[in-house]
Amino acid sequence: MLQYYDPIKSSHIVRSHDPTKDYGTPAVITETGYAPKLLSLSIDGQAITLPEGTSLMRAAAEVDVNIPRLCATDSLKAFGSCRICLVQIKGRKGFVASCTTPIEEGMVVRTQSEDIAKLRRNIMELYISDHPLDCLTCAANGDCQLQDTAGEVGLRSVRYGYSGENHLEMEKDTSHAYFTFDPSKCIVCSRCVRACEEVQGTFALTIDGRGFESKVSASQDEDFSSSECVSCGACVQACPTATLIENSIIDNGIPEHSVLTTCAYCGVGCAFNAQVRGDQVIRMVPHKNGKANRGHSCIKGRFAFGYATHKERITTPMIRNNIEEPWRQVEWNEAVEFAALKIRQIQDKYGKDSVGGITSSRCTNEETYLVQKLIRAAFGNNNVDTCARVCHSPTGYGLKTTLGESAGTQTFDSIQKADVIIVMGANPTDAHPVFASRMKKRLREGAKLIVIDPRRIDLVKSPHVKSEHHLALMPGTNVALLNALSHVIVRDGLEDKNFIDSRCEKESFLQWKRIIGENKNSPEALEEAIGVPAKNIIAAAHLYAKARNGAIYYGLGVTEHSQGSTAVMAIANLAMLTGNLGREGVGVNPLRGQNNVQGACDMGSFPHELPGYRHVSIDEVREPFEKLWGVKIRPEPGLRIPNMFDSAIEGGFKGLYCQGEDIAQSDPNTQHVEEALRSLECLIVQDIFLNETAKFAHVFLPGASFLEKDGTFTNAERRISPVRRVMSPLSGKADWQATMALSNALGFDMNYRHPSEIMEEIAKLTPTFSGVSYERLDEEGSLQWPCDSEAPYGTPTMHIDEFVRGKGFFAVTEYVATDEKIGKRFPLLLTTGRTLSQYNVGAQTRRTENLQFHTEDVLELHPYDAENRGIVGGDMVQITSRSGQISLRAKLTDRVQPSVVYTTFHHPGTGANVITTDNSDWATNCPEYKVTAVEVRKIKSNSAWQSQYEAFTKRQEFFLQEAKT
Amino acid sequence: MTDRELAHLIKMANQITINLAYGDSLEQSAGRVSDHIVRFWATPMKNKIKSYAQDGGQELHVITKAAVLRLS
């Protein structure tokens, strides 16, 4: 862990660190194992001892002397431009800026005197002589540091008058959807520019011009919306005036209270203060002490929360007998009774195993736990699965097999100690942007980067970041490449022999080594298949193997393949081979997609595992659950999502309870999924919108957004963070209450009064959660599991002295080419991904202003492939695979290599998954989204599927209208 | 074959074999494949592939077939 200076332990002044306070400059961070040099000084007569490197401003703040400042804030390095923070040091001439002056032993500092006060007033007077005096009508009124500081320094008049040359008439930039830039209020403190550089790492802002002409400029003097700005909000956060301010504040005024909660977008799990007026969220502000995000945010978490109150929210339960008839709005009771009766009738007719459910990776741990409990106890089978099936189930399998636990090994903070970073099949700047900023910061400090991706992601080259190696492999050859990397390390004797001897199983290592050493796994033998020259593979292998700390981060580009599990194991092998596990700065780090997909997996959402990743076949695992729940649990695994679909089509599976998951849009081979959904006699959908899946449903239970309930989410670093209710559930029930109602209607009683009671039950039954409770979460802010009596503060880094499974297991990872091969009929390979402004199927983000950042999904193709087909940028093109056909607009770019095409799947009408196939990972059935052989040609109209989709959607929307009238 | 579910199960089972046969004995490879199916497949899936194997299981790889026939 990071070793922050702890004043309680090392100073004679006792105080606690206040997360709400701005200390002016950042705390000094000391490398683990090194004691900081401590210096003692006196500030306004108060003695204090602090680590070397601390600024005078921060030292003063530590003794509660808060020196006025404008350009300083503790999220940014000291800059020293505003000069308001001047102080005097005994024995020295003149005045120094306290933000840029480090403490020294024996210093005697005065922060207040008549001379200092006069100087500060003079400086403030200059600022105010060129500032609009519209405080009462200003959007930042009551939340303006300039206003506060003018008050603190006692400014009473401006001797210069206001008629001189000024910036008051400068035009506002209102081009951005979420914030306004008003240069007339700018004091040119550079906080926004520095935030964009230091915190976000985009470098979109600069100070243009000199002296009086100086002004903040986005990109090359462009408006914000057309600049390189990525809308993370760091500049808005940093601005001490109303120059950069949220439009929601301009429209509504300053919020009156704040609730600390956790973002419901990606697996980074940022902590946010939901700032609220009554029950209306005015803005989301990243929490400075959030351990996952350290005060940073992205466009989604920061701004895209408006979907929660979107007009398309459905807040009343609805039922119907078949999907070709209008919906009927009913009371909760009638809806759950209707659903329960149907489920029981199906089970009577087709057997106990003919029904199942899908838990939501967007809902809380408590809600997910309840859904799997309902399925195991009330349905009486193990037919429960979650969206991790289609994303990170290979991570679960691969890491459990090799290391013994189905989760990432590190904290996000760990990246600050990494020297070589491999990013494989992940695009953090788009999909995990807040973590990407941390990574970019480390890269700017000198860490080396290896990108393994068929497409040139932004990390390959962006301002002040350049990857050492970009191994642009052909989709489907991950395992070949990983094996080649291991082969080189073994061949060249770069393995960490001590680590392997002491930490890993000898027998499995020797078997693995024998196979990996075969010539067929050499880069020379594989370079043609992989599409990367052997010398580049060798260089990358050397770079990683020789690093002091090598860390691997990976995403769905690794898992969503026919050998997804093999690739995960190959990654774990690589880390064990080089001894890169069990400390900070290293590790195997899956970047999880959805906010609570880690939690959903932890909570027993897989058909073969009870909470805590324990197999259902083990008697000792089932027994405590059976005892507490009062039912027998089946010892055999249940159906996984793709198995449910197959069985539905063949007539064996008839009823599905699907919570917060849009399988009709997100799962591969849409026409197959739709056929399966149409085969169901009872589909219960619980969601906040009438999503694509709900169009095939018989029962609609209105869901609640993350703002409407209490609970917890678990992020990609195993961090359990609280979700707190900000507004009442629009439907009257939070999701856990809806599940309880359904369970009770099914005759299996659930009577929790609050989600904390559900967590108590989870902690009782799950050893890795035994130390987790709402009280402990309130005390610590968040906890990383395993959290038990041995680790009451949680476990930031896993596998420190030994692996969870004991000795590390080298799994054999033979490369098997996918069945999805390019040929004459389908000569291109399609791969898919996400874009920054959108989240997953887009159900939430498309219902916010984020839509304007990504109005449609487009097909990226290389100019070479385009020219061969007579396609120019902007043409409508038809993409055909053996599964189906869709049409999209073409975008020509050399981000993709020739013969590879790429698209996103955020818009349902695009139907990107109409063309993905039902090929899947051999071990887990995770679909092979990332490799589809396709052909592209120019056309004029929509595909047949898209026309059918439009007609079907229109009809279902009519059925919804019928329900409302 | 009209049963698409069965067709998929056959494909899945053979895929497991390709990934778990390390070139050792049929006995060892079939053991790993069988273990995997036991741990991850639902009962109806196991029953379906087993009855297919018992009926000849023509499209099953020899290791797959041996593995499936081991299922209890």
- Taking an 8 Å cut-off on Cβ atoms, the answer to whether B42 and A607 are in contact is yes
- Taking an 8 Å cut-off on Cβ atoms, the answer to whether A924 and B36 are in contact is no
Cα(A545)–Cα(A558) distance, integer angstroms: 20
Q: Is the pLDDT of residue A8 over 70?
A: no
Q: Are A755 and A354 in contact (CB under 8 A)?
A: no
List pLDDT tens digits, range A202-230. Answer: 999 999 999 999 999 999 889 999 999 99
Check residue A7 and give its pLDDT: 40
CB pairs under 8 A between A and B: 63
DSSP state of A756: H
Compare A161 and B2 and report the one with higher pLDDT.
A161
Residue A406 at interface with chain B, using a CB cutoff of 8 Å: no
What are the CA-CA distances from residue A646 to residues A394, A542, A653 (Å)? 20, 45, 8
Give Cβ neighbours of residue A905 (< 8 Å, ≥ 6 apart). Answer: A665, A666, A832, A841, A857, A912, A913
Structure-block tokens of residue A912: 């990107």
Cα(A297)–Cα(A139) distance, integer angstroms: 22
Check residue A33 and give its pLDDT: 59
Q: Is the pLDDT of residue A874 over 50?
A: yes
Q: Is the pLDDT of residue A719 over 50?
A: yes
Question: What average pLDDT score do residues A860-877 get?
Answer: 95
Domain span including residue B30: 3-69
Structure-block tokens of residue A873: 């940028």
- Taking an 8 Å cut-off on Cβ atoms, the answer to whether A639 and B44 are in contact is yes
d(CA A647, nearest CA chain B) in Å: 6
- Taking an 8 Å cut-off on Cβ atoms, the answer to whether B5 and A646 are in contact is yes
Handedness of CA B34, B40, B45, B47 (dihedral sign): positive
List pLDDT tens digits, range B42-72. Answer: 999 999 999 999 999 999 999 999 999 999 7
Neighbours of A359 (CB within 10 A): 34
Give Cβ neighbours of residue A795 (< 8 Å, ≥ 6 apart). Answer: A718, A784, A785, A786, A787
- pTM as predicted: 0.94
Partners of residue B42 in chain A, C-beta under 8 Å:
353, 382-383, 607, 636-640, 643
Give Cβ neighbours of residue A779 (< 8 Å, ≥ 6 apart). Answer: none
Main-chain dihedrals φ then ψ at residue A890, nearest 5 degrees: -90, 140
Strand A828-833 with A900-904, pairing: parallel
What is the four-CA torsion angle of A704, A705, A707, A712, rounded to 10 degrees? 90
Cα(A750)–Cα(A753) distance, integer angstroms: 10
Q: Please name every residue paired with A96 in a beta bridge, in sequence order, or none if there are none.
A: A87
DSSP state of A27: P
- Taking an 8 Å cut-off on Cβ atoms, the answer to whether A608 and B18 are in contact is no
Structure-block tokens of residue A236: 């808005």
Closest C-alpha among A381, A766, A394 to residue A607? A381
Residue A943's pLDDT band (cuts 50, 70, 90): confident
d(CA B38, nearest CA chain A) in Å: 8
Residue B10 at interface with chain A, using a CB cutoff of 8 Å: no
Main-chain dihedrals φ then ψ at residue A51, nearest 5 degrees: -70, 150
Check residue A32 and give its pLDDT: 60
What is the four-CA torsion angle of A523, A527, A532, A535, rounded to 10 degrees? 40
Q: Are A465 and A444 in contact (CB under 8 A)?
A: yes
- Taking an 8 Å cut-off on Cβ atoms, the answer to whether A562 and B43 are in contact is no
Cα(A925)–Cα(A389) distance, integer angstroms: 7
- What is the predicted ipTM? 0.96
Partners of residue B22 in chain A, C-beta under 8 Å:
511, 515, 812, 814
Best probe of the A interface among B2, B9, B19, B28, by most A CBs < 10 A, is: B19
Give Cβ neighbours of residue A314 (< 8 Å, ≥ 6 apart). Answer: A687, A688, A689, A690, A700, A702, A731, A960
Check residue A886 and give its pLDDT: 92
- Taking an 8 Å cut-off on Cβ atoms, the answer to whether A923 and B3 are in contact is no
Structure-block tokens of residue A89: 């040091």
Looking at the partner chain, which of B4, B19, B39 has a beta carbon nearest the beta carbon of A816? B19
- Taking an 8 Å cut-off on Cβ atoms, the answer to whether A353 and B44 are in contact is yes
Give Cβ neighbours of residue A758 (< 8 Å, ≥ 6 apart). Answer: A366, A369, A370, A736, A752
List pLDDT tens digits, range A29-61. Answer: 776 656 789 999 999 999 999 999 999 999 999
Check residue A162 and give its pLDDT: 87
Give Cβ neighbours of residue A219 (< 8 Å, ≥ 6 apart). Answer: A204, A226, A227, A228, A229
Q: Are A731 and A316 in contact (CB under 8 A)?
A: yes
Partners of residue A510 in chain B, C-beta under 8 Å:
none
As a three-state string, the secondary structure of A759-800 is HHHHHHHCHHHCCCCHHHHHHHCCEECCCCCCCCCCCCCCCC
Neighbours of A489 (CB within 10 A): 23
Q: Is the pLDDT of residue A374 over 90?
A: yes
Q: Is the pLDDT of residue A914 over 60?
A: yes
Best probe of the B interface among A812, A818, A926, by most B CBs < 10 A, is: A812
Cα(A392)–Cα(A576) distance, integer angstroms: 21
Cα(A250)–Cα(A242) distance, integer angstroms: 9
Check residue A6 and give its pLDDT: 45
Residue A4's pLDDT band (cuts 50, 70, 90): very low
Tracing tokens 């959607």 back to the chain, one arrives at: A953
Check residue B2 and give its pLDDT: 59
As a three-state string, the secondary structure of A451-518 is EECCECCHHHEECCEECCEEECCCCCCHHHHHHHHHHHHHHCCCCCHHHHHHHECHHHHHHHHHHHCC
Main-chain dihedrals φ then ψ at residue A260, nearest 5 degrees: -80, 125
Give Cβ neighbours of residue A596 (< 8 Å, ≥ 6 apart). Answer: A264, A360, A361, A362, A363, A364, A365, A368, A713, A714
Looking at the partner chain, which of B4, B16, B18 has a beta carbon nearest the beta carbon of A646? B4
Partners of residue A647 in chain B, C-beta under 8 Å:
5, 44
Check residue A31 and give its pLDDT: 64
Give Cβ neighbours of residue A804 (< 8 Å, ≥ 6 apart). Answer: A403, A404, A405, A798
Best probe of the A interface among B18, B41, B72, by most A CBs < 10 A, is: B41
DSSP codes of every residue in A673-737: HHHHHHH-SEEEEEESS--TGGGG-SEEEE---GGG--EEEE-TT-EEEEE---S--TTSS-HHH
Cα(A234)–Cα(A193) distance, integer angstroms: 9
List pLDDT tens digits, range A176-200. Answer: 999 999 999 999 999 999 999 999 9
List pLDDT tens digits, range A737-785. Answer: 999 999 999 999 999 999 999 999 999 999 999 999 999 999 999 999 9
Neighbours of A792 (CB within 10 A): 12
Partners of residue B5 in chain A, C-beta under 8 Å:
646-647, 649-650, 652
d(CA A930, nearest CA chain B) in Å: 18
Average the pLDDT over each of A284-288, A569-573, A577-581, B1-5 and give the range with the smallest value: B1-5
Tracing tokens 């040139």 back to the chain, one arrives at: A456
Looking at the partner chain, which of A382, A650, A922 has a beta carbon nearest the beta carbon of B5? A650
Structure-block tokens of residue A708: 């409407």
Question: What average pLDDT score do residues A883-895 get?
Answer: 94
Cα Rg of chain B (Å, integer): 11
What is the four-CA torsion angle of A890, A893, A894, A898, rounded to 10 degrees? 10
d(CA B31, nearest CA chain A) in Å: 15
CA A440 to chain centroid, in Å, comes to 16
Q: Is the pLDDT of residue A634 over 60?
A: yes
Q: Is the pLDDT of residue A15 over 60?
A: no
Residue A5's pLDDT band (cuts 50, 70, 90): very low
Strand A271-277 with A550-554, pairing: unpaired
List pLDDT tens digits, range A418-434. Answer: 999 999 999 999 999 99
List pLDDT tens digits, range A451-510. Answer: 999 999 999 999 999 999 999 999 999 999 999 999 999 999 999 999 999 999 999 999
What are the CA-CA distances from residue A714 to residues A264, A271, A286, A361, A720 (Å)? 10, 12, 17, 10, 4
Q: Which of residues 31-70 of B touch A (CB under 8 A)?
A: 36, 38-45
Q: Is the pLDDT of residue A13 over 60?
A: no
What is the number of domains present in chain B?
A: 1
Length of chain A equals 965
Tracing tokens 């903070």 back to the chain, one arrives at: A413
Partners of residue B23 in chain A, C-beta under 8 Å:
515
- Taking an 8 Å cut-off on Cβ atoms, the answer to whether A812 and B41 are in contact is no
Q: Are A410 and A589 in contact (CB under 8 A)?
A: yes
List pLDDT tens digits, range A375-416. Answer: 999 999 999 999 999 999 999 999 999 999 999 999 999 999
Q: Please name every residue paired with A682 in a beta bridge, in sequence order, or none if there are none.
A: A655
Looking at the partner chain, which of B3, B15, B18 has a beta carbon nearest the beta carbon of A650? B3
Check residue A18 and give its pLDDT: 79
Partners of residue A637 in chain B, C-beta under 8 Å:
39-42
Residue A542 at interface with chain B, using a CB cutoff of 8 Å: no
Residue B27 at interface with chain A, using a CB cutoff of 8 Å: no
Strand A318-319 with A699-702, pairing: antiparallel
Cα(A422)–Cα(A407) distance, integer angstroms: 18
Closest-CA residue of B relative to A924 is B40
d(CA A604, nearest CA chain B) in Å: 14
Question: What average pLDDT score do residues A76-80 get?
Answer: 96
Partners of residue B45 in chain A, C-beta under 8 Å:
639, 643
- State the maximum Cα–Cα separation within chain B, in Å, rounded to a whole number: 35
